[in-house]
Structure 1
Amino acid sequence: MTRRLGSGRLVIATHNAGKLKEIGLLLDPYGVECISAGSLGLPEPAETGTTFVQNALIKARAAAEGAGIVSLADDSGLSVDALDGRPGVYTADWAERQWFEGDPGRDWFMAMGKVEGMLQAKGADASRACAFHCVLAIAWPDGEYAVYEGRAPGTLTWPPRGTMGFGYDPVFVPEGYGQTFAELDPEEKHRISHRADAFARLVAEQFA
């Protein structure tokens, strides 16, 4: 049987306040107090894995070892069937600007355009099937771990539509819907998202 979290403190392996809040709200009903790796001054480890599972575990293990208590990390991204699963673990990297482009932040329109350009280069008959993936990894300081994978299948559309999402949301139409993630009400999006799927699996095993 998988080791259980129980109530108490949990380090979320992130330096992003928004992600800490989102995960904290999801775990609050189970008596879990979430603190971020950033608030503890822990460094962000290099994500050298080639899969979502590997990168989630790298982050979770680094935070657990650094804080000395159990940690939770996530890794997520978009995989496109016709592009052999790309961008995959490089989903965010495809949106990174180079130093000579000025703004050092992420340009998601550029990233969406790169995906669309690669699809168009494959011809009008290229499959537009894709999926968002999320992996949640729990790591204990003694080395034990648990992994939960979530998936939201869909198709890509062009041009981008909607203003309520982020990342690749404006070009992702979830299976069974006619709107993109960026057009859906945020509550509906979160209900059917890849992260919601992964959290449902985590809760079923850890708190049921």
Structure 2
Amino acid sequence: MTPLVLLASTNSGKLREWSRLLRGAPLRLALGADLPPVEEDGDSFEANARIKAEAWGHVTDLPVLAEDSGLEVDALEGRPGVFSARMGRDDGERIRWLLDALGSCRRREARFVCTAVLLAPDRRRSWVFTGTCEGTIAREPRGDGGFGYDPVFCPRGEERTFGEMSPEEKERFSHRGAAAKRMVQALPSVVESLLG
């Protein structure tokens, strides 16, 4: 029997991405119904993912998958980090904030980080999977693919930004992809726990 797992999100794009990343895994993902906004006030990606998983876990008998991700920039002492989505009202504002904060700085090393928490139906057991993607920040946005900071992030070894890549190309580097691979490797040993 294949467990049905609730994705702690109402974003259909996120469901498509996680479904693609977990294809072939012994689980099925479903999108959550509307839930009042959850205040992600943790001090780490794991803490925020756990806050979301537990909030959604209280409204379902299903296992829950929640994640938090963001961008850490070395020259900005790890900012924006857990505040990545809060640095502006939309992606354009967030990118402008980042480029303004870096200015003419030559040190442009950065990484995307994703931490996913898989919470069992009993809400007592959970598994944590983290993936990172190292790279640099471009001096201007390029490409209209992806979302968030993708148009200014070049993964290590590439001159193109995530915004210039197809979803399949981005997946080869993606921090979410790395977290998903770790989850797929672990799933055979946790499927029974997910079935309750």
Mark yes or no: TM-score above 0.5: yes
Contact 2:109 2:136 in 1 (8 A): yes
Q: Could you report, residue by residue, the CA deviation over 1:152-202 in whole angstroms, capped at 9, with x for unpaired residues? A: 000011111111222111111100111111112221111210000000111
SS of corresponding position for 1:199 = helix
Contact 1:61 1:140 in 2 (8 A): no
Over the aligned positions, Cα root-mean-square deviation in angstroms equals 1.7
SS of corresponding position for 1:89 = helix
- Matching of residue 129 in structure 1 with residue 124 in structure 2: no
AA in 2 matched with 1:178: E
State TM-score, norm by structure 2.
Answer: 0.89
Segments of structure 2 that go 5 or more residues without pairing to the other structure are: 190-196
Question: Structure 1 residues 192, 207: closer, same or farther in 2, change over 3 A?
Answer: farther
Q: In the alignment, what sits opposite 1:114?
A: 97
1:163 to 126, 144, 157: 144
AA in 1 matched with 2:18: I
* Superposed displacement of residue 63, structure 1: 1.5
* Superposed displacement of residue 129, structure 1: 0.4
SS of corresponding position for 1:92 = helix
In 1: Cα distance, 2:22 partner to 2:174 partner: 17
In 2: Cα distance, 1:66 partner to 1:195 partner: 25
Q: In the alignment, what sits opposite 2:62?
A: 69
Q: In the alignment, what sits opposite 2:194?
A: none
AA in 2 matched with 1:172: F
- Matching of residue 182 in structure 1 with residue 148 in structure 2: no
Q: In the alignment, what sits opposite 2:15?
A: 20
AA in 2 matched with 1:80: V
* Superposed displacement of residue 88, structure 1: 0.7
Q: In the alignment, what sits opposite 1:47?
A: 40
In 1: Cα distance, 2:105 partner to 2:51 partner: 39
* Superposed displacement of residue 131, structure 1: 0.3
* Superposed displacement of residue 44, structure 1: 3.3
* Superposed displacement of residue 28, structure 1: 4.5
In 1: Cα distance, 2:139 partner to 2:23 partner: 38
Q: In the alignment, what sits opposite 2:192?
A: none
In 2: Cα distance, 1:109 partner to 1:153 partner: 22
Q: Give 1 or 2 for the bigger CA radius of gyration.
A: 1
Count residues in correspondence: 188
State TM-score, norm by structure 1.
Answer: 0.84
In 1: Cα distance, 2:47 partner to 2:153 partner: 25
* Superposed displacement of residue 48, structure 1: 1.3
Identity rate, percent: 38
In 1: Cα distance, 2:79 partner to 2:157 partner: 23
